[in-house]
């Protein structure tokens, strides 16, 4: 299948649109400009189909034009507001477009061969969409797993931090108790001074 006029689309949005490279979202003004470019390209393509072709050849030409427009729009939506769902829709648009053109091409076959041709085209479309759906589910599952892992790591770190704090506190209490015990070697003011120093050292009141 022919591609949309890449130069026209690229001029409209600043970069070429590619379904396999959906990352950052695009500004709304570029989105509108690209949408207009796609519509203009489709209008010109359909006009060309009407001028030079007829019968089934015209139908094929129109199916190709329609398919290119739908794929280009799906790619634009994915570029405008990136998501796994929109990326999946690009693959669906391509599968549907290929199927529509293939059905028209099947009209050149006769009788049973035509039915087989259509079924093969249908199977290819179903397979392509199934693969795209599987990939989307796998990607989403991986993202959720990563998020879950990140949360688990955070919780583990928090627990480790609490454990370290508890350990420090327990050691401090034990050292304080030992220091107080050593103060028993003294008597009167000397003992009091020893205990006060131990309190100050270990943060006790």
61-116 confidence digits (pLDDT tens): 999 999 999 999 999 999 999 988 999 999 999 999 999 999 999 988 888 888 88
Closest Cα partner for 22 from 91, 70, 68? 91
State pTM to two decimals.
0.61
* pLDDT range class, residue 23, cuts 50, 70, 90: low
Higher pLDDT: 53 or 179? It is: 179
Residue 14: the pLDDT is 39
Task: Return mean pLDDT, the chain.
Answer: 84
Please answer whether residues 22 and 86 qualify as being in contact, where contact means their C-beta atoms are separated by less than 8 angstroms.
yes
Residue 146: the pLDDT is 85
- Torsion over CA of 138, 143, 149 and 155, rounded to 10 degrees? -140
- Mean pLDDT computed over 13-35: 65
What digits encode the pLDDT tens for the residues 129-158? 998 898 888 888 888 888 888 888 888 888
What digits encode the pLDDT tens for the residues 193-204? 999 998 998 898
Residue 18: the pLDDT is 40
Domain ranges in the chain are: 6-153, 163-202
- Mean pLDDT computed over 162-178: 86
| Contacts of 74 by beta carbon, 8 Å cutoff, 6+ apart | 19, 86, 89, 90, 92, 93, 94
- Mean pLDDT computed over 37-46: 93
Please answer whether residues 202 and 172 qualify as being in contact, where contact means their C-beta atoms are separated by less than 8 angstroms.
yes
Whether the per-residue pLDDT at 16 is higher than 70: the answer is: no
Residue 24: the pLDDT is 66
Residue 29: the pLDDT is 92
Whether the per-residue pLDDT at 174 is higher than 50: the answer is: yes
Whether the per-residue pLDDT at 20 is higher than 60: the answer is: no
Integer Cα distance of 46 and 38 in angstroms: 12
CA-based torsion, 81, 85, 89, 91: positive or negative: positive
């Amino acid at each position: 299948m022919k591609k949309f006029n890449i130069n026209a689309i690229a001029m409209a949005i600043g970069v070429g649109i590619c379904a396999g490279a959906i990352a950052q979202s695009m500004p709304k003004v570029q989105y509108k400009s690209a949408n207009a470019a796609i519509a203009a390209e489709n209008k010109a393509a359909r006009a060309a189909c009407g001028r030079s072709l007829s019968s089934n050849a015209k139908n094929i030409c129109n199916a190709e034009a329609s398919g290119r427009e739908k794929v280009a729009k799906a790619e634009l939506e994915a570029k405008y507001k990136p998501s796994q769902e929109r990326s999946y829709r690009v693959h669906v648009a391509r599968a549907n477009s290929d199927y529509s053109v293939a059905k028209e091409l099947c009209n050149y076959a006769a009788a049973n061969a035509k039915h087989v041709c259509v079924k093969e085209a249908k199977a290819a479309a179903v397979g392509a969409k199934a693969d795209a759906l599987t990939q989307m589910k796998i990607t989403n599952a991986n993202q959720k797993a990563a998020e879950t892992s990140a949360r688990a790591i955070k919780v583990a770190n928090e627990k480790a931090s609490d454990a370290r704090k508890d350990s420090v506190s327990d050691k401090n209490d034990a050292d304080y108790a030992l220091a107080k015990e050593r103060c028993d070697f003294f008597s009167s003011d000397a003992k009091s001074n020893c205990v006060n120093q131990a309190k100050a050292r270990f943060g006790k009141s």
